[in-house]
Structure 1
Amino acid sequence: MSNWMEVPVSLGVSGARPMVGINWGSSNFRAWRIGADGTVLDRVAMPHGVAALDREGMRACIDALVARWGPLGDCWASGMIGSNIGWADAGYCKAPSSVADLAAHSLDATIGDTPVRIIPGLACTGPHGGPDVMRGEEVELYGYLALCGARSGDQFIVLPGTHSKWVHCRDGRIVDFFTAMGGEIFDRMTSQGLLASITEGSGAVGAAFDGGCDRARLSGLGLGSLLFETRARAVRAGLGKEDAASHLRGLLIGGEIADALRLYPALAGAQVTLIGNPALSALFARPLGAHDIAAEIVDSERCCIAGYGALVAATSDRAERAA
């Protein structure tokens, strides 16, 4: 393990009954010391994902938090730590579900000498009729639902990323969702293969991006028939490398939105919440606006912190009802 474990003890950890939330993915480890009022007292972020760790390595990560913060107390961990490559397989909670359902399905574990509640993923039958799963994003989703308060009716939340999640909520519960792999397709196609030599950059808002979005929205064609067009535009129309990347990004995001509108007709005229990287979220917001769909961009960390708090609150409510 690297020397991040030797960081000095935080001097600012105080407050009644602080808790710890851990988002532990395949590639990264993020942890927050959270006060009873939801304030972040301290945070740790390092590239120690479970895919690169054996059990001793996972134990060392938790021990490092204890060395930094003292006993962790109420500690919750989400993400791939609860998968079949993590510390223990926490399985999946079946949607439709509430945050109380998620809390009830969490797994009590001990990593080293530290008790940790491992949060399950979420599974559903998607609006396309096939199975779908998420692991880690459910905490952000329930955190946002807790932050926005009780709302009746349908809500739509998008988590843009490598594997974007399009999520349908109703009355504070997650009803179902579907996953789009546009981010991974973009990364792979611009790093190797036919389009790698004619693209540069991550894509940006502009005429080329808008053109890609419109092409995906209006052509009626699937992406398999549209993607090669990016190369043809570079060869025949002189599309520069940065514009080619933007056009490709537009095709992929526009295709996601077209799919979402087919699967969720209620999206038309609705407001969508985007949780994630602000720059990538802005790329989604622009074509959504072209469909007259308003979009708000919400900070991912804020939702994540609120999600751990919502899980603690749901567990406390359940214990009080059982008493």
Structure 2
Amino acid sequence: MDPSIFIFGDWGTSRLRLYLRQGKSVLDRRDGPGVSVLTKSPEQTFLDLVGDWREAQPAGAILCGMVGSRIGWVEAPYAPCPATADDLREHVLKIDADGLPVSIVPGLSCVNPLGGPDVMRGEETQILGALELDPALKHGRHLLVLPGTHSKWTVVEDGAITGFLTAPVGETFALLRQHSTLAAGVGVEVQGSAQGFAMGLARIAEHGPALLPHLLFETRARQLLEGLSAADAVGFLSGLLIGADAAAARQWFGDLGKVTVIGAPALNNFYDQAIASQGGHVTAIDGDAAVLAGLTTLSPPKNSDFHVLA
């Protein structure tokens, strides 16, 4: 095996991204199905995708995300907060896939600011990667948000993830758009407009997140009575949900100030606008870059012993 070559993977619910790396260079990349839509076992899906990569004699693979959940390959128990990179390394689950060592990164659990249980899988790796990409985040207290299907507002203190709060913003948007009357008749191909998004942010800024259920119905009423276009309606719905997420975060975490946003560029831009509407400002980090940096941080040391899960 070549200790300089490793396979990195971000395996979520809806998609799999695999990278063949040598040092810091990506030699190849492949995409595959998420754990919720597999037609074969996770192990076989993985081995099929990396088949010819094994000719490069990778030293092993490290995977994060829902691959370590109950619906994934094998469950990697959550590590509790507060957690540093060292804490997560201690909880990494190690298995064997046809002779290839595979490390599965655990998720994190915490008691959130509302006093309830909360969990994440995959985001912890992005957070650790962000700390490597922006070393200033390793010192002092910082607020980060990872937008997506389940947005995660996270506090990092002196390099440790101390707690987080989840909001199913993306999931709620998809459900309301596809299965409610709010966007009835709006085709799936319609993209939300910037004007509609700004209108949604403004309504939340005016009335606050507590009135979100009442403001949501305006998505429908404005189409019927004010001629709101389909694109504006989709943008308005998105603006209400993301705006309410940012406004609620301000209530629980205080003055937002500087927030680090870790995600895809388009989502980062939406949260930049929402946080600005609540008086904060953003530093954005690309989610894919953060995953690779985080997996690098959590990778087994070269020449380390590999103990396979019995």
- Same fold flag (TM > 0.5): yes
Quick one: which of 165, 170, 186 aligns to 1:178? 165
5+ long unaligned stretches in structure 2: 306-310
- TM-score under structure 2 length normalisation: 0.89
C-alpha contact 1:142 1:307 (8 A) present in aligned 2: yes
Q: 1:88 aligns with which of 55, 61, 74?
A: 74
Equivalent residue, structure 1, for 2:100: 114
User: Which residue in the other structure is 1:245 paired with?
Assistant: 234
Q: What does residue 11 of structure 1 align with?
A: none
Partner of 1:214: 202
Instruction: Report if the CA contact (8 A) 2:42-2:73 is conserved.
Output: no
Alpha carbons of structure 1 residues 63 and 114: separation in structure 2 relative to 1, 3 Å: farther
Would the alpha carbon gap of residues 116 and 129 (structure 1) be closer, same or farther in structure 2, given more than 3 Å must change?
same
Determine the structure 1 residue equivalent to 2:15: 28
Please point out which of 284, 291, 296 is paired with 1:304. 291
Q: Do the aligned partners of residues 196 and 291 (structure 1) sit closer, same or farther apart at CA in structure 2, a change above 3 Å counting?
A: closer
**Which secondary structure does the structure 2 equivalent of 1:97 belong to?**
coil
- What is the Cα deviation at residue 174 of structure 1? 0.9
Q: How does 1:125-144 map to 2 (within 5 A)?
A: 125-144=111-130
Equivalent residue, structure 2, for 1:234: 223
Give identity over the alignment, percent. Answer: 36
**Correspondences of 1:144-223 after superposition (within 5 Å):** 144-150=130-136, 151-197=138-184, 199=186, 201-206=190-195, 208-220=196-208, 221-223=210-212
Query: Are the equivalent residues in 2 in contact too, given 1:205–1:283 (CA < 8 A)?
Result: no
Does residue 101 (structure 1) correspond to residue 83 (structure 2)? The answer is: no
In the other structure, the counterpart of 1:4 is none
How much does 1:54 deviate? 6.5
Q: TM-score, normalised by structure 1?
A: 0.85
CA distance in 1, matches of 2:26, 2:235: 36
Alignment match, 1:50: 35
CA shift at 1:256, angstroms?
A: 0.1
- Structure 1: any 5+ residue segments left out of the alignment? 1-14
Of stretches 196-205 and 275-284 in structure 1, the one that deviates more from structure 2 is 196-205
CA drift at 1:176:
0.9
Output the CA distance in 1 between the equivalents of 2:160 and 2:254: 19
Distance in 2 (alpha carbons) for counterparts of 1:258 and 1:198? 30
SS in 1 for 2:179: coil
Q: Give the SS at the match of 1:22.
A: strand
Structure 1 residues 77 and 59: alpha-carbon distance in aligned structure 2, compared to 1, 3 A threshold: same
Greater shift, 87-96 or 21-30, is seen at 21-30
Which amino acid in structure 2 is aligned with residue 204 of structure 1?
S
Separation of aligned partners in 2, 1:176 and 1:306: 21
Distance between the aligned counterparts of 2:15 and 2:271, measured in 1? 24
Contact kept in structure 1, 2:42 and 2:72, CA below 8 Å: no
Q: In the alignment, is the contact (CA less than 8 A) between 1:34 and 1:305 conserved in 2? A: no
Residues 233 and 198 of structure 1: CA distance in aligned 2, closer, same or farther (over 3 Å): farther
Does the 8 Å CA contact 1:198/1:244 hold for their aligned counterparts? no
| Equivalent residue number for residue 308 of structure 2 | none
CA offsets per residue over residues 130-172 of structure 1, 9 Å max, x none? 1111111111110011121154211122111111111111111
Shift of 1:107: 0.7
How far the C-alpha of 1:55 sits from its partner, in A, is 6.4
Q: Secondary structure at the match of 1:196?
A: coil
Q: Which amino acid aligns with 2:239?
A: G
Q: CA deviation at 1:196?
A: 2.5
What is the deviation of 1:42?
1.6
For 1:217, give the aligned amino acid. A
Alignment CA distance shift 1:287-1:87 (3 Å): closer
Separation in structure 1 between the aligned mates of residue 227 and residue 75 of structure 2, nearest angstrom? 51
1:12 is aligned to: none
CA distance in 2, matches of 1:43, 1:153: 35
Distance 1:265 1:254, change over 3 A: same
C-alpha contact 2:61 2:101 (8 A) present in aligned 1: yes
CA contact (8 A) 1:50 1:58 kept: no
The CA deviation at 1:252 is 0.4
- 1:227-306 equivalence runs, <5 A: 227-267=216-256, 270-306=257-293
